[in-house]
Structure 1
Amino acid sequence: MTHAPTTTGPRGSRRAPSGRRAARPTSRRRHVWRWVLLGLVVVVLAAGGTGYWLYRDLDGNIEGVDLDRALGDDRPEKLPTSGQNLLVLGSDSRSGANSGLGGGEVSGARSDTALVLHIPEGRREAVAVSIPRDTLVTRPECTGRDGSALPSAQRVMFNSVYAQGGPACVVKTVEEMSGVRMDHFVEIDFAGFKGLVDAIGGVPVTVEKDIHDSASGLDLSAGTHRLDGTQALQFVRTRHGVGDGSDLGRIGLQQQFLVALLSEIKKQDLLGSPTKTYRIADTLTESLTTDSGLASLTALAEFGRSMNGVDPSTMETIMLPVRYDTQDPNRVVAAQPQADRLWKAVREDEEIPESAKKSPAAGG
């Protein structure tokens, strides 16, 4: 069989004779695709390595406390349903990154904000119960911050428990005063709170009246404002510019801001902005302390996803019913029978009755 002659093209390349299709350089293409695939593998591995590094970096930011080890077995029983109770603490420490955030010179740290977040079975709604910091409580026997035994004490201010015994002691105090088991606890300090608000671009709030508080530095006119981190911190700490100037007025602002903050986070498309998501996560985790069950990005993400169905705008905010103490009018105590009714509803995962929401010290 004879072969048709071939001709030589530019640079010595071989051309097929007229009427014949050039042979496909399969071996060369296969070689090119090997390099493409190798490049993709390198990119994926590099991205995976970076992702793992970032994950470890953020994961290492979170400080965890083993509640089971700290509190032992003498605790209320868990809810008989899939409902969850989360104790949220706001720390007013002035140390480290918190220095210079206002509030004057304060030794140690106190629980400036404390609320029990109850998520009923089904996780479609939530109830936030704020505990006034000036409430007189019985502090149970705990282990102090220095590791020594802290004896039980009566008629101590609620926010002093954190300063003397730390977060585990606060959890134990709340459990004993309510009979409600805390499944988790989360603590965020001043710097973390301010950074979170700044990272999401501020939070819109509406005030009905002008607020001028020289103590916190807050100066707002009536209307809607988008608060940055500094203003938000002033907002949740202000009390002299609202109500009767007591801690009870501040709780109303804290609850209002909590709902606004959660609504803003839910509204933003964080998945659409990985850089923004990382910035928020980095800011938050650096100032976060949780129980050991939540002390990882994976656990926090799973808990967050489980609450995805909760609409912040429908979250009910309640203050623990209190009355002014008869011995010290500057302090409050739990009002009965309202407080017992409130905690009973939380324990049994039931709707909070209206009679459990009336607080004599707040005018109802």
Structure 2
Amino acid sequence: MGFLLLVGCGAGAYAYFKLTGNIKSDDLSANGKNGAGKEKPDAFGRTPINILVIGSDARADAADKKLGGAADSSGARADVEMVLHISADRSNATVMSIPRDLVASWSGCHDKGHASMGPQTDQKINAALNGGPGCSVDAVHQLTGITIDHFMMVDFDGVVKMSNAVGGVPICVDNNVYDPYSHLKLKKGDHTLKGDAALEFLRTRHGFGDSSDSRGRTVAQHIYLNSLVGTLKSHGTLSSPTKLWKLANAATSALTVDNSLDSPSKLIGLANDLNKVPQNRITYATLQTYDTTVNGVSETLISKPSAPALFKTIIDDQSLTTASGGKTKASAAPTVPPSTIAVTVQNGTETGGRAGAIAQELIDKGFSQQTTSGNGASAATTLLSYPAGEQAQAQSVAKALGLPSKAVKQGTGTGIVLLIGNDWTTGTVFPGGKAGSTPADTKQALDGANSKLSKCAHVSTFDDVIGLNAQGRPTSSDHTYGSVSPTRAYALSSNVKDSAP
């Protein structure tokens, strides 16, 4: 891209002008310049890069309406949300998908050019996009605590253009699959997805894994993204002026970015940072969630302590791969992962609820869910006692709460006990202390995150494809076949053309 933009008088100037004109940009945050957080440099002055990648389902023009269909055509939702974390030393990256139906709360959004949105409580996080991409940035930052440095948003038509620009993305499915909702239809084996087929694959919700947004869909998207990265690196796209021009023209036309990326030269700089990360050192993960029913309404919530641990690895710039590309086994420090440390918290003050508050703070920081709270003997000073052989565990607890060393002593009991004294009657950090940043347990961070990336997308075996008529075509009225699996749907739809050969 640098060659295309900077070499040659007329051609270089034309290319730069053309690509600059393509770029659409918007405010990073809908709540002011600090709404997305602020990065802290490492000891060498380097900072990581966190990009929120947004796939919008807005039907803003004729092309998007044709591709997305007329249903749910009002407003905009984030069909896809991924936090792409690039380490400060550019040696590794993490891609964390956020399920679109996750329930979250965020402050009001007042981005210019978008509808104002008041404070939102317990709403699906994909709805934040109605307040503009800056509102999605704020919602994700408030949910995760992760600083967001940039966003990149693509719509339906953008996905089609990008897949065509790279000559298609190689994909494998392990069985025949047909999802009449997204219109994806593929036979078992290898395919190269271009145009509409690529969009259909990315939008499929009833075709892969457990047929859910939070697992099956995001894992399939990770397979696509990983293949796209491999295509860019191995097919000479980044070294061919012709291919690169086609890709650059498509990308700048397809993307909306934050204002700090509003020129080709800035995008080139970011592309160079991305290109430094080896493909085998990219970890793909889905934010851990669970489904529950609240007041008769089904909700998707984050799973603790795994999800906070995943957030923490990104915030602390911890790699989730080894130098050879394998998954990390556990954090180098502390020696004992917090998730294995259970604490008995006792309230020795006259202030009610102290033990419960501190116990919850420890659980939120990634300590064991077996941490308990209750009343204890009245105490003037706080004491953290531990049995023989568990000094490291006690020090980890003390560091998390800002306890001084004099408050940590070996006891005669069988477990770690924190007795809260009258010198600590408010707050979750010991007065005068500073809560330390204990590295996240990387094993816990990937627990339930579907981080194992398979070669082929696993086709769902669940019977949740409905709406097929006698000709095997999708319909809203004649449900001739009832509920069938995606593979059975493929067999019943011989009159429907496959998405790709």
- The TM-score normalised by the length of structure 1 is 0.81
The aligned amino acid for 1:347 is I
Evaluate the alpha carbon distance shift between residue 148 and residue 253 of structure 1 in structure 2; reply closer, same or farther with a 3 A threshold: closer
**Match in the other structure for 2:234:** 267
Evaluate the alpha carbon distance shift between residue 319 and residue 152 of structure 1 in structure 2; reply closer, same or farther with a 3 A threshold: same
SS for the counterpart of 1:142 is coil
Question: CA-to-partner distance for each residue in 1:80-133, whole Å, 9 max, x for gaps?
Answer: 332111111111122223231134432122111000011112212211000000
Question: Residue 249 of structure 2: which of 270, 282, 286 is its match?
Answer: 282
- Asked whether the 8 Å contact 1:185–1:291 carries over to 2, the reply is yes
1:355 equivalent to 2:316? Answer no
How far off is 1:329 after superposition? 6.4
Question: Residue 120 of structure 2: which of 137, 140, 153 is its match?
Answer: 153
**Match in the other structure for 2:282:** 315
Question: Residue 254 of structure 1: which of 221, 241, 244 is its match?
Answer: 221
The aligned amino acid for 1:260 is S
Question: Residue 208 of structure 2: which of 242, 245, 257 is its match?
Answer: 242
How far off is 1:166 after superposition? 0.7
**Match in the other structure for 2:167:** 201
SS for the counterpart of 1:307 is helix
**Match in the other structure for 2:21:** 60
SS for the counterpart of 1:115 is strand
How far off is 1:269 after superposition? 1.7
Question: CA-to-partner distance for each residue in 1:256-287, whole Å, 9 max, x for gaps?
Answer: 11111111011122355433322221111112
Question: Residue 39 of structure 2: which of 61, 78, 81 is its match?
Answer: 78
1:339 equivalent to 2:307? Answer yes
Question: CA-to-partner distance for each residue in 1:219-244, whole Å, 9 max, x for gaps?
Answer: 11222111112111111100112233
Evaluate the alpha carbon distance shift between residue 75 and residue 242 of structure 1 in structure 2; reply closer, same or farther with a 3 A threshold: closer
Higher deviation after alignment, 83-92 or 329-338: 329-338
- Asked whether the 8 Å contact 2:29–2:111 carries over to 1, the reply is no
Q: Tell me, which stretches of 5 or more residues in structure 2 are unaligned?
A: 1-6, 321-441, 452-501
1:87 equivalent to 2:48? Answer no
How far off is 1:208 after superposition? 1.8
- Asked whether the 8 Å contact 1:289–1:295 carries over to 2, the reply is no
Evaluate the alpha carbon distance shift between residue 162 and residue 75 of structure 1 in structure 2; reply closer, same or farther with a 3 A threshold: closer
- Asked whether the 8 Å contact 1:213–1:219 carries over to 2, the reply is yes
Evaluate the alpha carbon distance shift between residue 313 and residue 235 of structure 1 in structure 2; reply closer, same or farther with a 3 A threshold: farther
CA distance in 2, matches of 1:282, 1:361: 34
Evaluate the alpha carbon distance shift between residue 112 and residue 271 of structure 1 in structure 2; reply closer, same or farther with a 3 A threshold: closer
- Asked whether the 8 Å contact 1:71–1:172 carries over to 2, the reply is no
1:124-143 equivalences in 2 (<5 Å): 124-143=91-110
Question: Residue 79 of structure 2: which of 84, 87, 112 is its match?
Answer: 112
CA distance in 1, matches of 2:177, 2:279: 25
Q: Tell me, which stretches of 5 or more residues in structure 1 are unaligned?
A: 1-45
Question: CA-to-partner distance for each residue in 1:120-172, whole Å, 9 max, x for gaps?
Answer: 12212211000000000102121167656421111111111102x11001111
CA RMSD across the alignment: 2.4
Question: CA-to-partner distance for each residue in 1:299-352, whole Å, 9 max, x for gaps?
Answer: 111111122221234311111111113316643111111111111111111135
Question: CA-to-partner distance for each residue in 1:151-205, whole Å, 9 max, x for gaps?
Answer: 1111111111102x11001111111111111111111111111111111111101
- Asked whether the 8 Å contact 2:105–2:123 carries over to 1, the reply is yes
**Match in the other structure for 1:233:** 199
Question: CA-to-partner distance for each residue in 1:4-43, whole Å, 9 max, x for gaps?
Answer: xxxxxxxxxxxxxxxxxxxxxxxxxxxxxxxxxxxxxxxx
Evaluate the alpha carbon distance shift between residue 145 and residue 247 of structure 1 in structure 2; reply closer, same or farther with a 3 A threshold: farther
SS for the counterpart of 1:118 is strand
The aligned amino acid for 1:246 is S
Evaluate the alpha carbon distance shift between residue 282 and residue 242 of structure 1 in structure 2; reply closer, same or farther with a 3 A threshold: same
SS for the counterpart of 2:301 is strand
Evaluate the alpha carbon distance shift between residue 263 and residue 278 of structure 1 in structure 2; reply closer, same or farther with a 3 A threshold: same
CA distance in 1, matches of 2:228, 2:24: 23
Evaluate the alpha carbon distance shift between residue 70 and residue 51 of structure 1 in structure 2; reply closer, same or farther with a 3 A threshold: farther
The aligned amino acid for 2:19 is L
The aligned amino acid for 2:117 is L
SS for the counterpart of 1:194 is helix
- Asked whether the 8 Å contact 2:205–2:211 carries over to 1, the reply is yes
**Match in the other structure for 1:293:** 260
SS for the counterpart of 1:150 is coil
SS for the counterpart of 2:67 is coil
Evaluate the alpha carbon distance shift between residue 264 and residue 241 of structure 1 in structure 2; reply closer, same or farther with a 3 A threshold: same
1:182 equivalent to 2:140? Answer no
How far off is 1:361 after superposition? 11
